[in-house]
Amino acid sequence: MTTRITHHLNDALLMSYAAGSLPEAFSLVVATHVSLCDECRARLAGFEAVGGAVLEAEEPAAAMAEDSLAATLRRIAAMPEETHMRAPEPDAASDPVFPMPLRDYVGGDAQDVHWRALGGGVRQAVLPTEKDATVRLLYIPAGMAMPDHGHGGMELTMVLQGAFEDAGGRYGRGDVEVAGEDLDHTPVAAPGPDCICLAATDAPLKFRGILPRLAQPFIGI
Amino acid sequence: TERQTADTQWVTCVDRIGASRDQAAFARLFAHFAPRVKAFLMKSGADEALAEECAQEVMATVWHKAHLFDPERASVATWIFTIARNRRIDVLRKQRRPEPEDLPWGPDHAPDQSETVALQQETEQLGRALEALPEAQRVLIERAYFGELSHREIAAETGLPLGTIKSRIRLALDRLRHEMT
Ligand SMILES: [Zn+2]
Ligand SMILES: [Zn+2]
């Protein structure tokens, strides 16, 4: 399931995901992108190796309780044996739109999403995560523009189906756009299949036009 | 013959635990890594009792997942770090951790000894590079891995020589993709 990907995650995102300090909503985008992108998978493994080096360098290390090893062996005996079975793979013929981490949050693939209409054929589904950041699926019909907006924090947008374009370029399946406070953009869904993306934000978007601003409390973006 | 690295003995231990539930190998691994995991968790904000309990849980997970360890893609220290990190997210932050889709080798895959050793050597070089960093920068990186820095505070430029490790893992992934097709 490899795809030609041209827009990747940045080092700060991969490092904080490796360190385990990224909000859950952003972690879902990172895990979903890495599932499709061997380039970022290898970079992530590099940042995890730094974690290994930090662990190895823990000196002086903490003293363990006196019976610690015996207690751990008792824990091991009490735990169920790890089975060698893997999670059921989707059969190759079904060719899922969503990589595994996203399917875990949706409880299925693209056809299983519980969409809410936002008007103009645009639909969204907010996924359940911790509240420090928000992640949603967006369904944007081909040719449809999203409202012109700026960002109060960081926005990660990953394409799962179709494509969108903005001043930053063209984003196809697997590509991620990392937008910060310095970027204003008007993403437009490209012609072809309707666009489905996964978008995480840690602050509300800032809309320019009067209409989206009025709609914002209802849309919740 | 290939140069022995410190990690070689840990790879052998994990192998033996996975293959034959070798308690002596586990005791050696435990003596080295459990105190480091405990120290790591205490610096990440756990008190002594919680860190002791979590370190035991992490080592128990090492036992149960030993057969899944892939020495071509990570050193033992790196693998144990990821288990400890996930336990920290689970226990201290009480969050779910979305993980990338796994890419397991096919059932016929035999680990490539030279690739494994090359990765271990690069991991050691990375460790030495980390030690050689200016104090302030090294402390900043450690704090990032103890979970003290937000992604905003983590500078994109870490100055760490990740290039060789990255290329080696990329190579392993390419071979894996080749096996899969
Ligand atoms: Zn990538
Ligand atoms: Zn945006």
Residue labelled with tokens 């590079």 = B129
Domain boundaries, chain A: 1-90+99-221
Helix (H) or strand (E) holding A105: helix A100-106
User: Each residue of A35-83: pLDDT tens digit?
Assistant: 999 999 999 999 999 999 999 998 888 999 999 999 999 999 998 776 5
Say what the ipTM of the complex is: 0.94
Residue A4 CA to ligand 1 center (angstroms) comes to 10
A27 contacts on B by Cβ (under 8 Å): 97-98
pLDDT band at A203 (very low <50, low <70, confident <90, very high): confident
Q: How far is the CA of A213 from the centre of ligand 2 (A)?
A: 14
CB-CB neighbors (< 8 A) of A20 in chain B: 85-86, 88-89, 93, 97, 147
Ligand nearest to the CA of A181: 2
Q: Specify the CATH number of the domain B6-180.
A: 1.10.1740.10
Cβ atoms of A29 and A155 within 8 Å: the answer is no
Ligand with the closest atom to the CA of A32: 1
Peptide bond preceding A60: is omega within 30 degrees of 0, i.e. cis? yes
Residue A197's identity, in one-letter code, is C
Task: State whether the Cα torsion A102-A103-A108-A109 is positive or negative.
Answer: positive
Task: Spell out the domain ranges in chain B.
Answer: 6-180
Cα–Cα distance measured from residue A69 to residue B9, given in angstroms and rounded to the nearest whole number: 19
Of A35, A50, A75, the CB nearest to B141: A50
Q: Does A186 touch chain B (CB under 8 A)?
A: no
A11-19 and A24-36 are packed helices; what angle lies between their axes, rounded to 10 degrees?
A: 110
Q: For residue A60, list chain B residues with Cβ-Cβ distance below 8 A.
A: 39
Contact B130, B84 (CB under 8 A): no
- pLDDT per position in chain B (181 positions), as tens? 345 667 889 999 999 999 999 999 999 999 999 999 999 999 999 999 999 999 999 999 999 999 999 999 999 999 999 999 999 999 988 889 999 999 888 777 888 888 888 999 999 999 999 899 888 888 989 999 999 988 888 865 566 778 888 999 999 899 888 887 7
Q: Is A66 on the interface with B (CB under 8 A)?
A: no
Buried-exposed string B21-52: b where 16+ CB fall within 10 A, e elsewhere: ebeebbebbbebbbbbbbbbbbbbebeeeebb
SS3 A197: strand
Cβ distance B97 to A45 less than 8 Å, yes or no, reads no
Shortest Cα–Cα distance, B77 to chain A (Å)? 5
* Protein fold of A1-90+99-221: Jelly Rolls (2.60.120)
Q: What amino acid occupies position B78?
A: T
| Cβ separation A46–B162 shorter than 8 A | yes
Q: Nearest Cβ partner of A49 from B65, B126, B152?
A: B126
Mutation target among A34, A58, A59 for the B interface, most CBs of B within 10 A? A58
